[in-house]
Amino acid sequence: MSSVEKYLKPEVINQIKRLDLRAQFVVRGFLQGLHASPFQGFSVEFSEHRKYTAGDDPKDIDWLVFAKTDKFYVKKFEAETNITGYLVMDLSRSMGYTYRQDLSKFDYAICLAASLCYLMIHQQDPVGLITFDQRVRDSLAPRSKRAHLGNLLSHLSRLQPAGETDVAHSLIQIAAMLRHHSLVMIFSDLLVDTEPVIRALRQLRHGGHDVILFHVLDEAEVQFPFQGTVELEDPETQQRVRLDADHFRRDYLQEVEAFRETYRRACFQSGIDYVPLDTSMPFDKALLEYLLSRQARF
């Protein structure tokens, strides 16, 4: 069984083998909790003027036209109903880490991405894929047709985390690539310096994009379950350090909380959705809770 086949509840694993069917299973499960799409168009587009009639909102009256014609006209708008999404996947080696969970951080992110892909295509919104490590490695153009779903999920299932990463540089590249307002869904453990990443996120947001940052950490990285003398290794640099886990735990947990709080605060200030996750959380439940909270805000 491949890693991407492990990501649902144990009682479902033997029944659903393929990634596309699993994504379908998860999405159908949480669509019942959503009353409307959590991903809406960014704005409305001006269409034309028409005469004011009883029942129109007076706030829509164009007072410049009234000043010229002495007649009431309202601005007519057309809603932008579709939104283009991009799944942005961190391919760094550190994403492949797991301590005792069945899913590595990368597997967990793939599960989230597959479900969101299915959700967007289900609502006929185009979605594409961008992968990166030290730079952007690959991209699939967004499409909304059902055939594209199979192509995208197949691509996701073949991805492997390897090498070092430069999150900030890659996000700046992505900001330069995107020509239209898009929904950018980023999946990363963000185990790099925070300030360059935050600047890059702000650049992406200031480009007019709706940004969701799925911050995926391993259970052990969040809870630090180690005891006694342990040897820890950086998965990207292979540097090792020996330490007394019991004495180190308190300081470590404080650092992790500060790390997440830095992103939480910076994202809030920039209008970016920050979703902290760890691999001990059932990803379908975590995703549903996020989508419901997003829907409530819009």
Helix (H) or strand (E) holding 183: strand 182-188
**Mean pLDDT, residues 225-246 taken together:** 80
Same domain for 54 and 148, yes or no, is no
d(CA 93, CA 43): 38
Higher pLDDT, 289 or 160: 160
Task: Note the pTM of the prediction, 2 decimals.
Answer: 0.77
Q: Name the least confident of 22-31, 88-97, 118-127, 247-256.
A: 22-31
Same domain for 119 and 65, yes or no, is no
Given pLDDT bands bounded at 50, 70 and 90, which one contains residue 172?
Answer: very high
Same domain for 49 and 152, yes or no, is no
Tell me the pLDDT of the chain averaged across its residues. 81
Closest C-alpha to 104, from 23, 7, 190, 199: 7
Identify any residues that bridge with 127 across adjacent strands, giving them in sequence order. 85, 143
Given pLDDT bands bounded at 50, 70 and 90, which one contains residue 28?
Answer: low
CA neighbours closer than 13 Å in the CB half-sphere of residue 72: 9
Same domain for 32 and 48, yes or no, is no
Closest C-alpha to 276, from 221, 220, 214: 214
Domain termination site, one of 54, 79, 104: 79
pLDDT at 133 over 90: yes
How far from the centroid of its chain's Cα atoms is residue 39's Cα?
Answer: 12
CATH number, domain with residue 217: 3.40.50.410
Same domain for 140 and 97, yes or no, is yes
DSSP string across 74-140 = EEEEEE----EEEEEEE--GGGG--SSSSS-HHHHHHHHHHHHHHHHHHTT--EEEEEESSSEEEEE
pLDDT > 90 fraction of the chain, expressed in percent and rounded: 43
Given pLDDT bands bounded at 50, 70 and 90, which one contains residue 1?
Answer: very low
Q: CB atoms < 10 A from the CB of 184, how many?
A: 25
Domain termination site, one of 62, 79, 96: 79
Boundaries of domain holding 48 = 44-79
Same domain for 138 and 216, yes or no, is yes
Same domain for 14 and 108, yes or no, is yes
Q: Name the least confident of 31-40, 160-169, 182-191, 217-226.
A: 31-40
Q: State both tokens at 203.
A: 């650049």
- C-beta of residue 167 within 8 angstroms of C-beta of residue 192: yes
**Mean pLDDT, residues 242-268 taken together:** 92
Higher pLDDT, 77 or 298: 298
pLDDT of residue 6: 43
For 206-219, letters b (16+ CB in 10 Å) and e give: ebebbbbbbbbbbb
Strand, helix or coil at 247?
Answer: helix
d(CA 149, CA 157): 12
pLDDT at 52 over 90: no
Same domain for 61 and 130, yes or no, is no
pLDDT at 252 over 70: yes
Same domain for 31 and 49, yes or no, is no
Same domain for 103 and 207, yes or no, is yes
Same domain for 73 and 88, yes or no, is no
Q: For residue 180, what is the DSSP state?
A: S
Domain count within the chain: 2
Same domain for 96 and 69, yes or no, is no
